[in-house]
């Protein structure tokens, strides 16, 4: 620190007087800063939703298979 800076700092410190209240409460408010952590990968779908969708797809496949078998065994009437 240069002499000019130290002189300015000394003057500022001399001008500031600490005033403590004689009555009442004195408190200090501590402001915390945001602390960011590493990002975590979160699944877009839950396991339950994935199982439900798989059951739906399987049911749709079985229904389609039954329809195809029904169409093959029945002759077209014209």
Give the separation between CA 76 and CA 4, rounded to whole angstroms: 103
**If you ran DSSP here, which 8-state letter would residue 33 be given?**
P
pLDDT of residue 57: 97
pLDDT digit string (tens) for 36-55?
888 888 888 889 999 999 99
Using pLDDT thresholds of 50, 70 and 90, give the confidence band for residue 1.
low
Residue partners of 1: CB distance under 8 A and separation at least 6 = 9
Give the separation between CA 28 and CA 30, rounded to whole angstroms: 6
Between 13 and 24, the more confident residue is 24
């Amino acid at each position: 620190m240069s002499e000019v800076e130290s002189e300015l700092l000394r003057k500022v410190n001399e001008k500031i007087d600490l005033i403590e209240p004689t009555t009442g409460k004195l408190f200090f408010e501590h402001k915390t800063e945001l602390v960011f952590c590493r990002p975590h990968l979160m699944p877009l779908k839950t396991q339950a939703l994935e199982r439900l969708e798989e059951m739906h797809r399987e049911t749709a496949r079985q229904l389609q298979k039954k329809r195809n078998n029904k169409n093959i065994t029945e002759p077209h009437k014209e």
